[in-house]
């Protein structure tokens, strides 16, 4: 079964304590991405990766890091979380936008992060 898994699903942490949200996919997709979703602002892209060892900034990358050492994994790292990073985070995987349509992206179940 095609799956995108995220861990943890819920996390409450304190300001400044480094954390990692993991994302894994079993569809052999080259493209992976992280979004955050906030009320009134919708979904915004944080970082994306076109392939292993290739990552780039999305619309709201400040305060985040990513790595892509393996095709299936794309962890999101918050080195020093702050309260304004409290949000719902989604990992997504799919075909590159340069590939023929559809641009069908598969989203994970989400990680709700609260930074106090």
Partner 1 sequence: DAKTTQPNSMESNEEEPVHLPCNHSTISGTDYIHWYRQLPSQGPEYVIHGLTSNVNNRMASLAIAEDRKSSTLILHRATLRDAAVYYCILRDPRSGGGADGLTFGKGTHLIIQP
Residues that bind partner 1 (CB under 8 A): 4, 31, 33, 35, 42-43, 45, 48, 50, 56, 58-59, 90, 92, 96-110
Nearer to partner 1, 63 or 110 (CB): 110
How far apart CA 51 and CA 68 sit, in angstroms, is 8
Q: How far is the CB of 58 from partner 1 (least distance, A)?
A: 5
Q: How far is the CB of 31 from partner 1 (least distance, A)?
A: 6
How far apart CA 32 and CA 47 sit, in angstroms, is 9
Nearer to partner 1, 16 or 105 (CB): 105
Backbone φ and ψ for 107, nearest 5 degrees, come out as -105, 145
Instruction: Give residue for tokens 């861990």.
Output: 7
Which two tokens mark 9? 């699903």
Nearer to partner 1, 26 or 96 (CB): 96
Nearer to partner 1, 14 or 54 (CB): 54
Q: How far is the CB of 70 from partner 1 (least distance, A)?
A: 20
Which two tokens mark 115? 């930074």
């Amino acid at each position: 079964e095609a799956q995108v898994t995220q861990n943890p699903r819920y996390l409450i942490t304190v300001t400044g304590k480094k954390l990692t949200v993991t994302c894994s996919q079993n569809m052999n997709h080259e493209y992976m991405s992280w979004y955050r979703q906030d009320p009134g602002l919708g979904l915004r892209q944080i970082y994306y990766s076109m392939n292993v060892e290739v990552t780039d900034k999305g619309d709201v990358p400040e305060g985040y890091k990513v790595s892509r050492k393996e095709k299936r994994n794309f962890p999101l790292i918050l080195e020093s979380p702050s309260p304004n990073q409290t949000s719902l985070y989604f990992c997504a995987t799919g075909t590159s936008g340069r590939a023929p349509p559809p641009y069908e992206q598969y989203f994970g179940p989400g990680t709700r992060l609260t930074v106090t």
